[in-house]
Amino acid sequence: GENVEQHPSTLSVQEGDSAVIKCTYSDSASNYFPWYKQELGKGPQLIIDIRSNVGEKKDQRIAVTLNKTAKHFSLHITETQPEDSAVYFCAAHKPNSNYQLIWGAGTKLIIKP
């Protein structure tokens, strides 16, 4: 079945620097890839997503890239700020399911002042 691997598990960057989190998926039929941000004491919140017919998508300081051939996608955060500190989850649509997502294990992003 579909499997999603996420790296790194923890990422510490200096405020103002960029952060990159990577995920790989196993089923080439997956066609939707969201990223969620979970702040302390809250549920995950969708921050950006990409479909398989697009290679890159940007929204202000965040961007997602997708490489279908290699079956991996990445989250890029530029000019990191303290409020970016959170746990980030990637996910991939599970083919032949009713919109079910398969989740990565999460990345704890720490922004150092």
Partner 1 sequence: KAGVTQTPRYLIKTRGQQVTLSCSPISGHRSVSWYQQTPGQGLQFLFEYFSETQRNKGNFPGRFSGRQFSNSRSEMNVSTLELGDSALYLCASRAAGSYGYTFGSGTRLTVV
The interface mask with partner 1, positions 60-89, x = CB under 8 A, is -----------------------------x
Residue count of the chain: 113
Q: Does residue 97 interact with partner 1 by CB under 8 A? A: yes
Task: Between 18 and 97, name the residue whose CB sits nearer to partner 1.
Answer: 97
Rounded CA separation 48/57 (Å): 8
User: Considering the rule CB under 8 A, would residue 53 count as an interface residue with partner 1?
Assistant: no
Q: Which is nearer to partner 1, 29 or 46 (CB)?
A: 46
Of 22, 49, 68, 95, the residue at the interface with partner 1 (CB under 8 A) is 49
Q: In terms of Cα–Cα distance, which of 21, 2, 1 is closest to 92?
A: 2
All residues at 6 or more sequence positions from 73 whose CB lies less than 8 Å from its CB, including other chains: 22, 23, 25, 33, 50, 64, 65, 66, 67, 90
**Residue 48: which of 69, 25, 60, 5 has the closest Cα?**
60
**Which CB atom, from 70 or from 99, has the smaller least distance to partner 1?**
99
User: Interface with partner 1 by CB under 8 A: which residues?
Assistant: 32, 34, 36, 41-46, 49, 89, 93, 97-101, 103-106
